[in-house]
Structure 1
Amino acid sequence: MGFEQEAFERLVHVTWDNRSKMQREMLRGAKGEPFVVQQLYIKGPMTPSQIAQAMGATTGRVSTLLAGLEKKGQIVREPDPDDRRSVHIRLTETGEERAHRQRESMRDAICWIFSQMGERRTREFIDLTTEFTTYMTLCMPGKPRPTPEQVAEAFSGNTQEEA
């Protein structure tokens, strides 16, 4: 077995088979209200279909989530001034406070982890994660592998990230 296969097996075990409590919580949050709140906090007002696309969820699922957030006073639906048939969802002050609390809680936890790893290893981790993520953006299962030109372009910083 080459190092690539061994690394793959170890990565799958570490990231999928043996998830930490934080990873499980983050994954749960990626399927619900915390994700919607963070999307709106980061990107600003969005349509329900934009939220559904970002989540990889159905518009029906998003509609249910939005109803719950609206009931809690964390979002409002506003008509699009250019297209009255469309609505934009935006956070209320209460929703922004929730988003801020979520981000601070995550920041505190991850900063603690980085403090345990030390500065040198943390910087290496971030650099390697950035490189790995760039390759993952280029290389999709079942698709042709990227050309050397595509790889060079991705690492030159001349490509735009997909939203």
Structure 2
Amino acid sequence: MDYNKAAEVFLTTVIKRGKAEMIHRFNTYSQGEHLVLGYLYKEAGKQIVPSKIAKFTHTSTARIATILNNLESKNLVTREISRTDRRKILVAITDKGRHVAEEIRVEACSNLARVFEEMGEERTESFIENFKLFLEIGMKLAKEDKEKEEEKNA
């Protein structure tokens, strides 16, 4: 198999007009405010500092500060100074934020379920397994590349 040709076909398929729009639709659940809100929803009850959110989202702390400002203005999160370490700001999701995060999750699942229903059970199961493998290998290779880059710069 010519893997470079397969990669080209894959990229062309993904970026074709219309298909890119569909991918963008699903990406809205995994970036920006939605991603941060989902993370806080999942981590509810824990003490979360903005730097931890930045690490999870692979975003700068400045970008996280902007996102948190927006979420706070919508009463979806709160920020308070830590009682044990006044240098730390703790972020928590509000009841309204939990409700919005749950609505976002339900909508995302509903949209995916509609696609999966069209694909059928066998193709859906195969797609999920193959996509998991695709992500695992991609993450492994990215980690190896990062380690090589760090060794080269050391």
TM over 0.5: yes
1:38 maps to what in 2?
A: 38
Aligned pair 1:15/2:21, yes or no?
Answer: no
1:38-77 equivalence runs, <5 A: 38-44=38-44, 45-77=47-79
- The aligned counterpart of 1:99 is 101
Question: Percent identity of the aligned residues?
Answer: 26
Q: Distance in 2 between matches of 1:69 and 1:141?
A: 32
Q: How many angstroms apart in 2 are the aligned matches of 1:142 and 1:16?
A: 27
Give the letter for the 2:72 counterpart.
E
CA distance in 1, matches of 2:62, 2:142: 28
| Aligned equivalent of 1:161 | none
**Deviation per residue, 1:66-94 (Å, 9 max, x gap):** 11111111001133343221122111000
Question: TM-score normalized by structure 1?
Answer: 0.76
AA partner of residue 11 (structure 1): F
Distance 1:15 1:111 in 2: 20
Q: How many residues align?
A: 143
Report if aligned partners of 1:77, 1:88 keep a CA contact under 8 Å in 2: yes
Instruction: Write the distance in 1 (CA, Å) between the matches of 2:24 and 2:2.
Output: 28
Amino acid at match of 2:36: V
CA shift at 1:60, angstroms?
Answer: 1.8
Higher helix proportion: 2
2:94 and 2:37 map into 1 onto residues whose CA distance is: 10
Q: 2:5 matched to which residue of 1?
A: 6
Matched, 1:128 2:130: yes
Task: Give the one of 89, 92, 103 matched to 2:91.
Answer: 89
* Structure-2-length-normalised TM-score: 0.80
Shift of 1:21: 2.4
The one-letter amino acid paired with 2:14 is: T
